[in-house]
Amino acid sequence: MDIAVLLGGTSAERDVSLASGFRIIDALRSAGHQVTPVDPATGVLPERVEAALRSAGMRREPPSLEELKRVASEKGSGGDGIIDGLTSLAGVRDADVVFLGLHGGHGEDGTIQALLELAGLPYTGSGLLGSALAMDKDLSKTLFRAAGVRTADWLMAPVTSDLVGRTLGWPVIVKPSKQGSTVGLTLVREPGLLQAAIEEALLYDDEVMVEQFIAGRELTVGVLGDQPLPIGEIFPRHEIYDYECKYTAGMAREEFPAKLPPLVAAELQGQALLAFRALKLRGYARVDFRLTAAMESYCLEANTLPGMTELSLIPQGAAAAGIPFVALCERIVALALDRSPRAEGTR
């Protein structure tokens, strides 16, 4: 098959996306597919540019906002790279399927999904509505509760420290409402630090969530198709499973499957499926949880385009289910084609 892999982009998760995308490209090429790497910020990647980006590798911190602005302006677009002409690129237009290796920003908020829908191009992951719902943490938590998925209490800024103390208690998590990889996230332990954390989150989004902090175990459940994968537990070296712990070797340890009582594991997988369906997701996703000492689970969020790096969680969950990485990538492609109008027309 001819497959276009979208990677990079202009979100704060650009480096993560590059790492995910190159691993996906290698897997698909090893399976015999013709793969074209495409960066929505700049276009089809020539071999020398692909090689340079690969050699740069992952950094311990996300790229600065200034660096992202510079990348976005390379094509003179004023901030969105070549996104408005993306589907007219030969590498994308002529592809049998588009594999979305993007994270955050327009790649995960439904924007690129909408463009691909309009162009009639099959693509991996959730549709434009599910992508938008999952990206907006305020909306997704509201839908979780309506579907019977437990999630921590929250408020949306602006808020006062008095209101937060009365409603949520301390500590709290302050984070951009539409962002991933813990970019812009702060654990706030006392009232005097609240406003600074809100201002930090506002650098990455115009809406900020203040969420009750749930102490407990860090767990994750991948969903592939409509089936939950084995549950994973994360043991980060920091108190919070932050950007550095997620993408730096040795900064976290993962255990798949997690050591849980069977009934607790079954309930967590059930909650993951409820969350997946509540947000109208499809293809694959990862749903993250905290589990308290009383064995009560709280859903943190759903990731519609989860990381696919060597340290990422959904590939580890798939491996625990006996699905190697190449087979995982091909399964994700097959799920995209199964729902494609093009595929329907050939049956």
What are the structure tokens assigned to 218, written together?
């860090």
> By the 8 A CB rule, do 60 and 89 touch?
no
Q: If we measure between CA atoms, which residue out of 183, 149, 181, 186 comes closest to residue 275?
A: 149
Answer yes or no: 153 catalytic: no
Among 101, 105, 184, 307, the active-site one is 307
Among 136, 211, 244, 288, the active-site one is 288
CB under 8 Å to 88, separation ≥6 — which residues? Answer: none
| Rounded-to-10 torsion of CA 260, 262, 264, 270 | 120
Among 204, 247, 284, 298, the active-site one is 247
Amino acid at 164: V
Answer yes or no: 241 catalytic: no
Answer yes or no: 85 catalytic: no
Answer yes or no: 288 catalytic: yes
Among 177, 181, 297, 312, the active-site one is 181
- 94 class by beta-carbon count within 10 Å (0-12 exposed, 13-18 middle, 19+ buried): exposed
Buried b (16+ CB within 10 A) or exposed e, 323-342: bebeebbbbbbebbbeebee
Among 286, 290, 298, 317, the active-site one is 286
Among 244, 301, 312, 317, the active-site one is 301
Answer yes or no: 286 catalytic: yes
Among 8, 11, 13, 177, the active-site one is 13
Long-range contacts of 274-279 (CB under 8 A, 24+ apart): 274/144, 274/147, 274/148, 274/149, 275/144, 275/147, 275/149, 275/299, 275/302, 276/223, 276/226, 276/302, 277/147, 278/143, 278/144, 278/146, 278/147, 278/149, 279/126, 279/130, 279/133, 279/134, 279/140, 279/143
Answer yes or no: 78 catalytic: no
Among 11, 20, 303, 312, the active-site one is 303
Helix (H) or strand (E) holding 266: helix 262-278
Strand partners, 253: 235
Answer yes or no: 297 catalytic: no
Answer yes or no: 43 catalytic: no
Active site (catalytic) residues: 13, 181, 247, 286, 288, 301, 303, 307
